[in-house]
Homo-oligomer: A and B are copies of this chain.
Amino acid sequence: MRLTIIGSGNVATHMAAAFKNAGHRLVQVYSPTMHNAALLAYHVGAAAINDLAHISADTDIFIIAVKDDAIAQVAGALAVHQKIIVHTSGSTDLDVLLAYTHKAGVLYPLQTFSKIREVDFATVPLCIEAANESVYTDIQQLAATVSSNIYSINSAGRKILHLAAVFACNFPNYLYGVAQNLLASHQMDFNLLRPLILETAQKVQEQLPVSVQTGPAVRNDEVTMRTHLQMLEGEPQLQNIYTLLSQGIIKNNNGRVGDK
């Protein structure tokens, strides 16, 4: 297919690369910053533009991967070309595009992307929604060229997914950082924790989280929890986090004897 990428951030970069590798033709890459457009365009053999007035209609799908609050404006500028327009946002309704075109769809990759790191796109869950069956089929065919994890998820479901992803990814990463800071303030290396972090994530690849919960809270080990709160003295925000998350674990496991 002929694809046009609107955006040059992490999602745009990883999607463009995956589609290029799958044999699609990347027509243009748009970014308001020419440098960014050119960088990504160069990597995927596309033309770079920094003005939507220069967008080419010789494409099959416009893929919008910009900040959520810029999606509507971009869609408004693209609709005149009467091609399929998809956005890639977890928290944006399909309706935002439907205001401008009936050839509207969503292709939401449920993964965390950093420019610095390659992602195996074949395992990335791709969540699809479309305004009609014809558009759905086109998006699905495109998605199937890069991933084998394709789900049909409507706007309401996608919003839940996006919220769940914050709990499953953004918040754990923040907590990794808290742990790293605790170690750093006592001259200990983050390498000590890396195997633990990886194993914790690997465990739930087959098990459900609640069945593999470990730690003082699931054992209702009040002495250790009290000691930990004392160690966090002077860090009221961390104390609050410790207390709230421990209460959640205790509530989940009420009456159940946990593992050491």
Of B110, B216, B241, the contact of A196 (CB 8 Å cutoff): B110
Q: Which residue from chain B places its CB closest to the CB of A11 in the assembled complex?
A: B260
A204-244 at interface with B (beta carbon < 8 Å): 204-210, 212-219, 221, 223-224, 227-228, 231-232, 237, 240-242, 244
Q: Are A210 and B177 in contact (CB under 8 A)?
A: yes
Bitwise interface map of A from 155 to 187 toward B, beta carbon under 8 Å scored 1, else 0: 011011111111111111111111110110010
Given A199-B119, A204-B197, is A160 in contact with B183 using a C-beta cutoff of 8 Å?
yes
Say how many copies of this protein the assembly contains.
Answer: 2
Q: Which residue of the partner chain B has the closest CB to A214?
A: B112
* CB-based contact B171/A259 at 8 Å: no
A172-B176, A176-B172, A193-B164 given; A188·B245 CB < 8 A: no
Q: How far is the CB of A189 from chain B (nearest CB, A)?
A: 8
Kindly list chain B residues whose C-beta atoms are within 8 Å of the C-beta of A124.
Answer: 195
Interface centre among A198, A209, A221 (most CB of B within 10 A): A209
Q: Given A217-B170, A260-B9, does the pair A212, B114 have CB atoms closer than 8 Å?
A: yes
Q: Provided the pairs A110-B195, A123-B195, A209-B176 are in contact, do residues A164 and B182 lie with their beta carbons within 8 angstroms?
A: yes
Chain B contacts for A35, CB-based, 8 A: none
Q: Are B160 and A182 interface neighbours, CB within 8 A?
A: yes
Q: Which residues of B contact A251 (CB under 8 A)?
A: 237
Please give the distance in Å from A212's CB to the nearest CB on chain B: 5
Rounded to whole angstroms, the CA-CA distance of A212 and B169 in the bound complex is 11
Q: Is A2 an interface residue (CB 8 A)?
A: no
| Residue of A11, A159, A176, A177 ringed by the most chain B CB atoms within 10 A | A176
Q: Does A111 reach chain B (CB closer than 8 Å)?
A: yes
B174 touches A69 (CB 8 A): no
Residue of A201, A218, A248 with most partner-chain B CB within 10 A: A201
A215 and B249 form a contact (CB under 8 A): no
Which 7 A-B pairs have CB atoms at the shortest separation, nearest pair first? A170-B215, A201-B201, A172-B172, A177-B209, A168-B179, A176-B209, A164-B179
Contacts A156-B186, A164-B182 aside, 11 further interface pairs with beta carbons under 8 A come to A110-B196, A114-B212, A117-B212, A160-B231, A170-B213, A172-B175, A174-B248, A175-B245, A176-B204, A198-B201, A241-B241
